[in-house]
Amino acid sequence: MATGYLSVFDGPRTPLFLAPQAGVSESPFRRLCRAFGADVVVSEFVSAEGIVRQNERTLDYLRFDEVERPIGVQIFGADPEAMGDAAAFVTEAFGPDFVDINFGCPVKKIVKRNGGSGCLRDLDLVERIIRAVDDATALPVTAKIRSGFDQSSRDPVTIALRCQDAGAQVVTLHPRTRADMYSGFARWDEIAAVVEALEVPVVGNGDVRTGVDALRMREETGCAGVMIARGSHGDPWIFKQARAALDGAVIPPGPTVEERFQVCLEHARNAIAFESERHRAVREFRKHLGWYTKGLPNGKSLRQELFQVETLEEMEGHLERYLEEARARGWADQPVDEGELADGVAPRAAVASA
């Protein structure tokens, strides 16, 4: 039986992962998702070069709270020696539960330096990086990959096998190529093929937007874990719904508008407290405000106001005024199922009871 982080794959429960996402999976959001049922969280991806240079902002991304465990720190880079040095430093200075290597990021500024999914153009380099990291830390080393750099190099099974052979103890596959970016559909059949080929646990990632999607992914692929990325944006309760679906329990309804705002403000307060510069924290939180209010009745005008806020007090004021109108119209406390919301349209339950 595995011990430590790898023990999450023991037993009948399928673990749920919050994906590493730059500018999204900061500590406050990780803690929130853990509270809603995420079993494992991963840091934003962090530059190995920045870690080695002891860049202050880079090191700030590595902070986490004990309640977040099990947590992995994800690093990226194209220099095996720097990746090994970064893994050793992270292990000694921060002590996460595992070190994850990013071979999946498709962003141009990362790829042009051969980082992220850029490494997939050279599988020998992928192996050297994994071996260097594995040699530098006693923690489990895992890898997050895409299906290839482009269509001509699309071969997720070979990529995953190379990762396993180099020492990766878990492989997460997002079954799109770098060229796909986030377009089209994730090919879950490729996750199933990797599950069949590998001996180590395989985590599936891509197009999990509801609790039912998490169950479908497990049933269609046989994956050992389910990772949720964009589906969590403004929606941490997706983990509660996914947990219920995976366990065969009744899936709870979506949050009411009032509950949605309560979670949003809890997230905002924690994010502001976590940052050293309050105004920057508020500005960076605006994207979350967009996600938390997406689809709400008359949400477009609300978002226009929220995208201008400079303080927590302004944020609270706009949300409270919106809630007052929602209460007056009788739908502030109505459960809102994902997919039912549309700008300018009240929740279906409120219409039915009107």
To 10 degrees, the CA torsion angle through 279, 281, 283, 288?
-150
Predicted structure pTM score: 0.91
Query: What is the pLDDT at residue 58?
Result: 87
- Give the C-alpha separation, 152 to 121, whole Å: 11
At the topology level of CATH, where does 4-247 sit?
TIM Barrel (3.20.20)
CA angle 100/104/109 to nearest 5° reads 110
Query: What is the pLDDT at residue 298?
Result: 83
Query: What is the pLDDT at residue 336?
Result: 59
Query: What is the pLDDT at residue 321?
Result: 95
Q: Is 119 a catalytic residue?
A: no
Catalytic residue among 33, 105, 163, 223: 105
Distance of CA 14 to the CA centre of its chain: 17
Query: What is the pLDDT at residue 340?
Result: 42
Q: What is the residue extent of each domain of the chain?
A: 4-247, 257-353
Query: What is the pLDDT at residue 349?
Result: 37
Query: What is the pLDDT at residue 346?
Result: 40
Q: 53 in helix, strand or coil?
A: coil
Q: Do the beta carbons of residue 104 and residue 117 sit within 8 Å?
A: yes
Each residue's pLDDT, cut to its tens digit, for the chain (354 residues) gives 455 899 999 989 999 999 999 889 999 999 999 999 999 999 999 999 999 998 888 888 899 999 999 999 999 999 999 999 999 999 999 999 999 999 987 777 788 777 788 899 999 999 999 999 999 999 999 999 999 988 898 999 999 999 999 999 999 999 999 888 888 899 999 999 999 999 999 999 999 999 999 999 999 999 999 999 999 999 999 999 999 999 999 999 989 999 999 999 999 999 999 988 899 999 999 999 999 999 888 889 999 999 999 999 999 999 999 999 989 988 888 765 544 444 444 443 333 322
C-alpha distances (whole Å) from 156 to each of 1, 153, 190, 268, 282 are: 28, 9, 7, 38, 40
Average pLDDT over the chain reads 91
Burial class (CB in 10 A: 0-12, 13-18, 19+), 293: buried
Query: What is the pLDDT at residue 42?
Result: 97
Query: What is the pLDDT at residue 179?
Result: 85
